[in-house]
């Protein structure tokens, strides 16, 4: 017994007092710091690319927008004068008016087409559904430049297939890029390019809905139309709002399609057709980089205001827009 008591007395006892708790906190803090450093290492490549190719060019463009360059005066600091000039510029105002009216007409058409296709594909459970989704999504996989070039060939009044088809009956085909038709001609191109992408987003949201909700609605006597418009559409409203924001931002920055189709438009698409085209021509046709930078940021202000107004009127309590 004496030997056992001695052994117990000589065994170290682990303390749980203030010193032990402090040591544990220090070790936990060190572990958290090491994890934080590892996390920064993982995001460092993206952060470097983000800063070098997005933040730095934006800051440099903003710097340029605050100056003006003349042959006699050289480069001088003008502050917000370029922005005042941009918002008073009739060409910029005309371009902004066009993209806003274009968005007002285009976005509802895109959303109706995308939503209708998604609802149909969600209701059909055959092997044809996968093929249909792929074919409808395929235009989005085509680069915008390639797609615009293709539509330029289709729209061409000289060698396009549309003119050849009408010539078989001795008639002249309507020119989709004429001053009277350019609005709807461009709307057709953009809808073809983006409707499949929006459809996939809506379809994914529909597939995430619990099927038991549909079964309960049918037990209560709801038909297919009521299930579609009173259950499915409200449950994917968040996805619809998100798509609307993306579409609004993209439409207000309209550039690629009209720029590529300029050569076949016979002068309909002018150098100030949209704000982005106007800024591009100011920079690379007239070397007026300072004013072009101000035009770009002025368009950014317009985009921000339009998106904010849209989100303000579509906000939800308890939703992701609240």
Residues 182-209 pLDDT 10s: 999 999 999 999 999 999 999 999 988 8
Domains and CATH numbers, the chain: 88-313 (1.10.3720.10)
Stretch 55-59: mean pLDDT, rounded? Answer: 92
| pLDDT recorded at residue 32 | 75
Max CA pair span of the chain: 121
13-17, 174-178, 219-223, range with the lowest pLDDT: 13-17
Q: Is the pLDDT of residue 5 over 90?
A: no
> DSSP state, 174?
P
CA distances 280 to 93, 272, 292, 294, 296, Å, are 16, 9, 7, 12, 9
Q: Is the pLDDT of residue 37 over 80?
A: no
Dump pLDDT digits (tens) for 67-107: 988 777 778 888 899 999 999 999 999 999 999 999 999 99
> DSSP state, 229?
I
Dump pLDDT digits (tens) for 240-273: 998 999 999 999 999 999 999 998 888 899 999 9
| pLDDT recorded at residue 186 | 94
More confident residue, 318 or 171: 171
Q: Is the pLDDT of residue 123 over 70?
A: yes
| pLDDT recorded at residue 21 | 60
With contact defined as beta carbons under 8 Å apart, do 246 and 212 qualify?
no
Residue 79, Ramachandran bin (φ over 0: left; ψ between -120 and 50: alpha; else beta): left
Q: Is the pLDDT of residue 39 over 80?
A: no
113-117, 145-149, 170-174, 253-257, range with the lowest pLDDT: 170-174
With contact defined as beta carbons under 8 Å apart, do 86 and 290 qualify?
no
With contact defined as beta carbons under 8 Å apart, do 268 and 206 qualify?
no
Stretch 29-47: mean pLDDT, rounded? Answer: 79
SS3 142: coil
Is residue 160 very low, low, confident or very high in pLDDT (cuts 50, 70, 90)? confident
Dump pLDDT digits (tens) for 106-120: 999 999 999 999 999
More confident residue, 287 or 23: 287
pTM of the predicted protein model: 0.81
| pLDDT recorded at residue 228 | 86
Nearest partner of 258 among 99, 86, 90, judged by Cα: 99
Q: Is the pLDDT of residue 7 over 80?
A: no
Is residue 224 very low, low, confident or very high in pLDDT (cuts 50, 70, 90)? confident
With contact defined as beta carbons under 8 Å apart, do 227 and 278 qualify?
no
| pLDDT recorded at residue 321 | 39
């Amino acid at each position: 017994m004496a030997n056992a008591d001695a052994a117990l007395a000589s065994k170290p006892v682990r303390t749980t007092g203030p010193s032990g708790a402090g040591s544990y906190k220090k070790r936990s803090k060190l572990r958290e710091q090491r994890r934080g450093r590892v996390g920064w290492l993982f995001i460092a490549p993206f952060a470097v690319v983000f800063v070098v190719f997005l933040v730095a060019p934006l800051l440099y463009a903003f710097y340029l927008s605050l100056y003006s360059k003349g042959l006699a005066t050289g480069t001088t600091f003008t502050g917000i004068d370029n922005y005042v000039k941009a918002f008073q510029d009739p060409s910029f105002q005309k371009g902004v008016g066009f993209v806003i009216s274009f968005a007002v007409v285009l976005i509802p058409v895109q959303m109706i087409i995308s939503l209708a296709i998604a609802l149909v594909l969600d209701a059909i459970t055959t092997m044809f559904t996968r093929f249909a989704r792929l074919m409808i999504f395929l235009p989005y996989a085509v680069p915008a430049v390639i797609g615009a070039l293709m539509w330029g060939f289709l729209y061409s009044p000289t060698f396009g297939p549309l003119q050849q088809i009408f010539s078989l009956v001795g008639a002249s085909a309507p020119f989709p890029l004429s001053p009277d038709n350019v609005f709807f001609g461009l709307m057709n191109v953009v809808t073809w390019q983006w409707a499949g992408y929006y459809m996939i987003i809506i379809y994914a949201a529909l597939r995430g809905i619990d099927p038991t909700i549909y079964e309960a609605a049918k037990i209560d006597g709801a038909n297919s139309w009521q299930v579609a418009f009173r259950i499915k559409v409200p449950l994917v409203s968040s996805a619809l709002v998100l798509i609307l924001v993306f579409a609004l931002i993209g439409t207000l920055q309209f550039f690629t399609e009209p720029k590529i189709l300029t050569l076949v438009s016979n002068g309909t698409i002018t150098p100030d057709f949209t704000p982005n085209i106007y800024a591009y021509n100011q920079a690379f046709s007239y070397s007026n980089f300072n004013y072009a930078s101000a035009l770009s940021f002025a368009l950014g202000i317009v985009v921000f205001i339009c998106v904010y107004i849209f989100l303000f009127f579509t906000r939800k309590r308890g939703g992701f827009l609240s």
